[in-house]
A and B are shown apart, each in its own frame.
Chain A
Amino acid sequence: MKHMTESTWIRWLLICLALLFLGLFLILPLVAVFMEAFKQGTEMFVAAIIDEETFAAVKLTLLVALVSVPLNVTFGVAAAWAIAKFSFRGKNVLLTLIDLPFAVSPVIAGLIFVLLFGSQGIAYPWLDAHDIKIIFAVPGIILATTFVTFPFVARELIPIMEAQGKDEEEAAVSLGASGWKTFFRVTLPNVKWGLLYGVILCNARAMGEFGAVSVVSGHIRGMTNTLPLHVEILYNEYQFAAAFSVATLLAALALVTLILKSVIEWKTQRKEELS
């Protein structure tokens, strides 16, 4: 039919414009990270990666993700079970509250923990008396990271579990299965891809968080320095090649995240088409 589609040249113009925009704003920065990393040769790159402080930063980043991701997975599963399988008053309020950390600036996310546990904080006298350090120490970094990654898993799981309804679970329970058994044998297999999707996004943010962690860390080298903070320190010391070399580790993490995400999207789409 006439006028139902655009003429070929408009079509190509639009595609080219879109690609130009994405190339300029997305592809170019990504390429720049790798180009700048190898600007002063492969040796400099390797030296920056196997550096002791880089190694410490990698270890801390992994530790932070290893604590905060499981915490938020447990919460996400619990919240999704309560919200998707039951009806109760105030559900929308609860959903909005779960979204809150996404609306809060990362800097404020760090600030609230400084106000709670920092040297002028409410809980500081007690912490000091018991010789517990949270701000400018690892626990603060974990807390701030857990805060900013809080909604990821819950937000992925809730719509999926709502869409699946509760017929299968009710059938399992009426046949005598326990609640835990029902969850692990019926619910979990149904939502595993959605759960994995949430975990991947949660993990990417946990390893890459900068603003919130920057407020609470104190930038102590080799001690409270995560990978993104290490990139910042190197950059501010004008060690640009080293900064970009360390940044390639984080860029690689981002690429792996995107690939896994696409694979899961592709898998779940195929499943929908088959069923």
Chain B
Amino acid sequence: MKRKTSRSSGFLPGFGLTMGYTIIYLSLLVLIPLSVLFLKASTMSWDSFIGTILDERVLSSIRVSVVTSFFAACMNAVFGVLVAWVLARYQFVGKRFIDGIVDLPFALPTAVGGIALTSIYAENGWIGQFAAEWGIKIAYTPLGIWVALTFIGLPFVVRTVQPVLQDWDLQMEEAAATLGATRWNTFIRVILPHLLPAVLTGFALAFARALGEYGSVVFISGNMPHKTEIVPLLIMTKLEQFDYAGATAIATVMLIASFVMLLIINYLQWRINKFDAAR
């Protein structure tokens, strides 16, 4: 059945081999292990599954995770657009260095980022001591989680918005300026609407990554149940107590949420591509 399509599209060899290998490797390493999670969840009774999820501690961790991830993604959306704009439009000394360093959160192991941020934002740290003078605690509070999640989500918005700005057609801006719009008006009415799909994609990527993040958060959060305990950490705690059913139930809900996010992101990227193709 596949052969027909491959023959019609060319005569290159190797489709069967590479496709077969791709499917087998994907199944063995990703699809089968992931389906085991759902299999395990399906052996739980509905009542105990719901009971695990609706537990006070689990609900608190979901709230902490969603709220901190949301505000971290918001921070990244605003400053991501700013950084992308500055990198795409302006010339300044050290620009190449800045452009390279933006990807640091992708390259730096999360545990290293975690302990570094903790040392900076703890009460005796470089920034933490100034915050403490104002009576603000950052490390070991939800604010600390927000800092860590902002750090790991930073490259996403920059790297989705930057290419859009670089391939930008200046005609629309010129037209707006010729028609007498101020620069601010042009930005709000012309530039921002066209950037929006890319910003939303970056936001969704940062949010999805933040929801699942573990390494950078465990050190700075303090891990207090009901207050600074995030969902991945709670799964970890359940596992350490050998509560495999509990861990599985929470992980299943989280995995479904991730799949929904992935579909949204794919849809947004498809929208951007369609928009590019139309131009």
Instruction: For A18, list chain B residues within 8 Å (CB).
Output: 79, 82-83, 85-87, 98
How far, in Å, is B151 (CB) from chain A's closest CB?
5
Chain A nearest Cβ from B117, distance in angstroms: 5
A4 touches B173 (CB 8 A): yes
The list of the 7 closest CB pairs from A to B, nearest first, reads: A105-B212, A208-B109, A210-B215, A211-B214, A179-B13, A29-B116, A254-B107
Minimum C-beta distance from A251 to chain B (A) = 6
Chain A residues contacting B39 (CB-CB under 8 Å) are 122
Across the interface, which residues of A come within 8 angstroms of B232, CB to CB?
105-108, 211
Across the A-B interface, how many residue pairs have beta carbons closer than 8 Å? 295
Query: Complex Cα distance A45/B269, Å?
Result: 46
Kindly state the interface size class of chain A when it binds its partner. 35 or more
CA distance A170 to B12 in the complex (A): 6
Decide if A170 touches B11 in the complex (CB within 8 Å): yes
Name the B residues within 8 Å of A96 (CB-CB): 262, 266
| Cβ contact within 8 Å between A22 and B254 | no
Contact-residue bracket for chain B? 35 or more
When chains A and B are docked, how far (Å) is the Cα of A183 from the Cα of B79?
43
**In the assembled complex, which residues on chain A have CB atoms less than 8 Å from the CB atom of B109?**
207-210, 227-228, 231, 250, 253-254
In the assembled complex, how far is the CB of residue A257 from the closest CB belonging to chain B, in whole angstroms?
4
Q: Are B103 and A261 within 8 A (Cβ)?
A: yes
A107 touches B100 (CB 8 A): no
Binding site for B on A (CB under 8 A): 1-6, 11, 14-15, 17-19, 21-22, 24-30, 32-33, 36, 74-75, 78-79, 81-83, 85-89, 94, 96-101, 103-108, 111-116, 118, 120, 122, 143, 146-147, 150, 166, 169-170, 173-174, 178-179, 182-183, 201, 204-205, 207-211, 214-215, 227-229, 231-232, 235, 240, 243-244, 247, 250-251, 253-255, 257-259, 261-262
CB-based nearest A residue for B183 = A3
- B residues near A (Cβ < 8 Å) are 2, 5-6, 9-15, 17-19, 21-22, 25-26, 29-31, 33-34, 36-37, 39-40, 79, 82-83, 85-87, 90, 92, 96, 98-113, 115-117, 119-120, 126-127, 147, 150-151, 154, 170, 173-174, 176-178, 180-183, 186, 208, 211-215, 219, 231-233, 235-236, 239, 242, 244, 247-248, 251, 254-255, 258-259, 261-262, 266
Residue on B nearest A33 in the bound complex, by CB = B116
User: Are A15 and B212 in contact, with the CB atoms below 8 A?
Assistant: no
Q: In the complex, are the beta carbons of A210 and B110 less than 8 A apart?
A: yes
| Consensus secondary structure, chain A interface | helix
For this complex, 13 residue pairs linking A to B, each with C-beta atoms less than 8 Å apart, are A1-B178, A4-B183, A26-B105, A29-B117, A32-B120, A33-B112, A33-B115, A108-B235, A147-B29, A170-B12, A179-B13, A228-B112, A235-B219
B181 touching A3 by the CB < 8 A rule?
yes
B102 CB contacts on chain A under 8 angstroms: 22, 26
Residue pair A86, B15 in contact (C-beta under 8 Å): yes
